[in-house]
Amino acid sequence: MIDIKVLENKDLLDVIAYENEYFNITNYEMFIETYVENPLFEIYGIYKYNILIGYIIIWLDEDKSQIYSMLINEKYRRNGYGFKALLKLENILSDKHIKEWTLEVRASNNAAIQLYKKVGFKSVAERKNYYKNNENALLMYKKL
Ligand SMILES: CC(C)(COP(=O)(O)OP(=O)(O)OC[C@H]1O[C@@H](n2cnc3c(N)ncnc32)[C@H](O)[C@@H]1OP(=O)(O)O)[C@@H](O)C(=O)NCCC(=O)NCCS
């Protein structure tokens, strides 16, 4: 059983450490400025028995939302937690009258692409050389 809720302040440093380890986001000030101080972003923690096992960062604008980042701690992967967390987040977004959400994912990130497809996202476009290493991004979309 997992829970998803607005990230508790005590867990912020853990999220920044994950971002640092997996996505090379090394600048603490930039993270705070971009995601914490900007009211358009929300960070959700994914908790199992009150232990932070992952997170999802989203951007919200009127009736649209975009997933900016998502991660499940390696130890807890392949247990359906990422899938369940996205379904729970979908309910939260529906309550906020969000009508559609999107995301960009590395074309090589098969685990994430399969997860998003399982949740119902469709790949709608490919963005060439989108990432620093010139890798393409898939743009995925789901109507809520
Ligand atoms: C992508 C990620 C969030 C998946 O989380 P997870 O909790 O392990 O995913 P789930 O167990 O809920 O898996 C749901 C579905 O996703 C797909 N999936 C997940 N991991 C997979 C893998 N390693 N290989 C292939 N498919 C995978 C499967 O379709 C799976 O359904 P199934 O179990 O019925 O086969 C996790 O691997 C992760 O944190 N990766 C590193 C960070 C990352 O890439 N984030 C996404 C950036 S956009």
- pLDDT-derived band of residue 76, with 50, 70 and 90 as boundaries? very high
* Percent of the chain residues past pLDDT 90, beyond the cut: 87
Alpha-carbon span 137 to 129, nearest angstrom:
7
Residue range 78-93, pLDDT digits in tens: 999 999 999 999 999 9
End-to-end, the C-alpha distance of the chain in Å comes to 24
Backbone angles phi, psi at 16, to 5 degrees: -65, -35
Report the pLDDT value the prediction gives residue 41, as an integer from 0 to 100: 96
Cβ 99 vs Cβ 63: under 8 Å: yes
The mean pLDDT of the chain is 95
Query: Is residue 26 predicted with pLDDT exceeding 80?
Result: no
> pLDDT grade, residue 15 (50/70/90)?
very high
Q: Which atom of ligand 1 is nearest to the CA of 67?
A: 48
Ramachandran region of residue 109, left (φ > 0), alpha (ψ -120 to 50) or beta? beta
Ligand 1 binding pocket mutation candidate from 15, 52, 72, 117 (most atoms within 8 A of CB): 72
| Probe residue for ligand 1, chosen from 53, 77, 101, 119 as the CB with the greatest number of ligand atoms within 8 Å | 77
| Domains annotated on the chain, with CATH | 3-143 (3.40.630.30)
At residue 118, does pLDDT exceed 80? Answer: yes
Q: What is the pLDDT confidence band of residue 28, given thresholds at 50, 70 and 90? A: confident
pLDDT > 90? residue 116: yes
